[in-house]
Chain A
């Protein structure tokens, strides 16, 4: 009785790719990130020297053929430390955002779906957290917990949970009014199934976009905390820690500060470009005809 429609129109996936293609800059961001991740993963293979190996004979040497980016005040190779520091920065950035994303989106979906008093309490706490500057909150938590890799991840995750609650809550409220959610209730689905199977997949793209932007912020916060000495303890190389150590000799040995700063700058820039491109790709207002 009813004929099947013509071949299906282009799937969502390729629409996303098309938008990414329209914005050439997004591929620059993706390319940069790919290189940074590759460096972090293969740091032991790529590093020309041991990042912890001290060498009194080669203290504070400027960039040369042997030490491409120079050496620090203990004679350690800056390039190798930079490569190994990428592991710490990306690990912290990724895990902190992952924790914040899981906790924040869960709370946001629950607050949006349940509503009422629960929603008001959660959003009240979120507003309080958002009113603290990220760095100040991170500083407080890190100072309370003490400096270690795990505590740094927890501290940064706490500072970044609140934005995810907000980002997950708003589309959940919009989804809740959709008929298919009401259909789920009429069919006797449990609230958990409605939230997990029907609402979450529909709002996941919004959350992922925010995650890429906040990962940049997490890397910045980690560098800032390391810079003021609340980061991973020395001699483990971190970008923020390298800047702090180099700061003492900034006038005589510029390379100690400039190269880790550049690394942070490029990573944050790449993540922001990617986040902006993803946001444009899923925003129907910017997507053009639909």
Chain B
């Protein structure tokens, strides 16, 4: 089976402790996440800051090692892959970073940055590599003169284009993008999104797209996963989820995101309270502390994912 399948992914971070065994705390960053990214699809991952969406995106590529669960890509078990298999897999799965400033090594020219992955994976002769690097620049909208310059000579948007070129130079099938536009100016965001859209169509890429911006998700993703405190709470086609959210959290998320037309703003959209700490999560449904429709059952029992319509799942006792 092609594409990416994630089943029961779990990642806890242990904080504190040390040599003499101080107090430790367990941060439950990701709990039991399951989702698919079919070949050629783009799947969005939304949620508040600190809900674990970045950890999911990194765990999928083993940039952080998951504690439990399976990640399968094109039929290969990613977590069980040997270092040699992993190198092969990395060619096919690439990552785009949020911060275009820290994601480039300031001491290497753009040419070195783009050629290095090809060298490491022993792809092509030096001449072919040069050709490939030169061919990818116009594709991401950068001029040829950019090649022999250093990252500090570029703006944030241009640097993000370089980061995208670096991810694409190995011709991956899956691109995991962790908030690729949230560090950029709004006008530049649109350009980068359009570029990603173009590339997706031209190269038939699959995307796992992490964002907290529902507008960006609506524009870019076919399917959306909503996360809250490390849990997947709603899953389904983007349009349906954003137009007709089922989970109370998704409703609040949608209502609290800006709407272009002020008259259609919903009057009483507000989220009360802070997101609980993942080091000390509430019992039962993680959202019950802030949920306007919480029942006594919600405090006790963690709801399971239920199918409420074809292709739509939600984890809530109301359904």
Contacts and interface: CB of A to CB of B under 8 A. Distances in A.
B105 A186 contact: no
A189 B158 contact: no
B304 interface: no
What size tier do the contact residues of chain B reach? Answer: 35 or more
A2 interface: yes
A45 interface: no
A46 interface: no
B127 to A, nearest CB: 21
Interface of A: 1-2, 4-5, 8-9, 120, 178-180, 182-183, 185-190, 193, 197-198, 201-202
A2 B95 contact: no
Interface string B239-261: 00000000000000000000000
B50 interface: no
Interface in B10-56: 19
B274 interface: no
B193 to A, nearest CB: 14
B136 to A, nearest CB: 14
Contact of A188 (B91, B142, B155, B163): B91
Interface in B121-172: 121, 141-143, 145-146, 149-150, 152-155, 157-158, 161, 163, 166, 170
Given A179-B102, A188-B91, A202-B107, 8 more contacts: A2-B157, A4-B146, A5-B154, A8-B149, A183-B95, A185-B63, A187-B90, A197-B116
B86 interface: yes
A86 B31 CA distance: 66
B15 to A, nearest CB: 15
Contact of B63 (A1, A9, A182, A189): A182
Given A2-B142, A8-B153, A188 B87 contact: yes
Nearest first, the 6 closest Cβ-Cβ pairs linking A and B are A188-B90, A179-B103, A186-B95, A179-B102, A188-B87, A179-B97
A120 B19 CA distance: 9
B91 to A, nearest CB: 7
A9 B152 contact: yes
A9 B107 CA distance: 15
Nearest to B138: A1
B191 interface: yes
